[in-house]
Amino acid sequence: MSIQELEKPVGCIETMAAAHRSGGVTITDLIRNVGMSQKTAYSSLEKLMELDLLQCEDLVDGGRTVRRYSTKDRAEKLAMYLDAVCTTMKELERKNGTQNLNRLPVGSLAILIEIYREGFTTISDLREEGGMCGNTAYSALDSLKESGLIFQEVESEFPRTVKKYKLTEDGAYLGKILDLADVAMVLIEK
């Protein structure tokens, strides 16, 4: 299991973070407090239940039954790091005047982890080692550049020019937290 599995559907990371922060969430919590659409809330909860990261209990409140989703014990560390990722993204949005870092294209967070671990990445690396199609990689890289998390360095290596993508200071900070979350996901399986 890797962080890339939580990038789709949109909302999984925010759902895990909210469940950790609040000790559990309902559909209404995700819509009102996190700002998700109903469809996003349901699809992210479904995915997280499939991955066995959340548990569900039915609570009776004033005669009506409410489903509350909370983090399973085995996923608590992961949820803690994902909460830190969401908090960091909000702080970077404020600091840099960017918007919607939590809505980066699929593959963006995996790219940040890759660059954090390797020092840089290229389109070829993302295709061959990361298993990304070109459109996904380009879309994610463009959004990461626009958000100020990565920059592009062009190197001439005869007979061709290579575009290397590296982390900015903010990207490195976020990359470190994402790396911890990714390690926590790997440890869940063990």
Do the domain assignments include residue 41? no
Do the domain assignments include residue 130? yes
Do the domain assignments include residue 123? yes
47-91 residue pLDDT tens: 999 999 999 999 887 888 989 999 999 999 999 999 999 999 999
Domain count, the chain: 1
Torsion angle of C-alpha atoms 141, 144, 149, 150, degrees rounded to 10: 20
Do the domain assignments include residue 20? no
pLDDT reported for residue 31? 93
97-134 residue pLDDT tens: 876 777 788 889 999 999 999 999 998 898 888 788 88
CATH label of the domain that carries residue 141: 1.10.10.10
Do the domain assignments include residue 129? yes
Do the domain assignments include residue 181? no
* Confidence label for 135 from pLDDT (cuts 50, 70 and 90): confident
* Confidence label for 190 from pLDDT (cuts 50, 70 and 90): low
136-172 residue pLDDT tens: 889 999 999 999 999 999 988 778 888 999 999 999 9
Residue 12 has pLDDT above 90, yes or no: yes
Cα–Cα distance for residue pair 20/61, rounded to 1 Å? 22
Residue 1 has pLDDT above 80, yes or no: no
pLDDT reported for residue 96? 82
What does pTM read for this prediction? Answer: 0.88
Owning domain of residue 154: 98-176
Residue 11 has pLDDT above 70, yes or no: yes
Cα–Cα distance for residue pair 165/18, rounded to 1 Å? 31
Instruction: Report the half-sphere exposure of 131 (CA within 13 A, side-chain side).
Output: 3
Task: Tell me which of 187 and 172 has the higher pLDDT.
Answer: 172
Q: What are phi and psi of 153, to 5 degrees?
A: -120, 130
Name the strand (E) or helix (H) holding 57.
strand 54-61
Do the domain assignments include residue 85? no
Do the domain assignments include residue 42? no
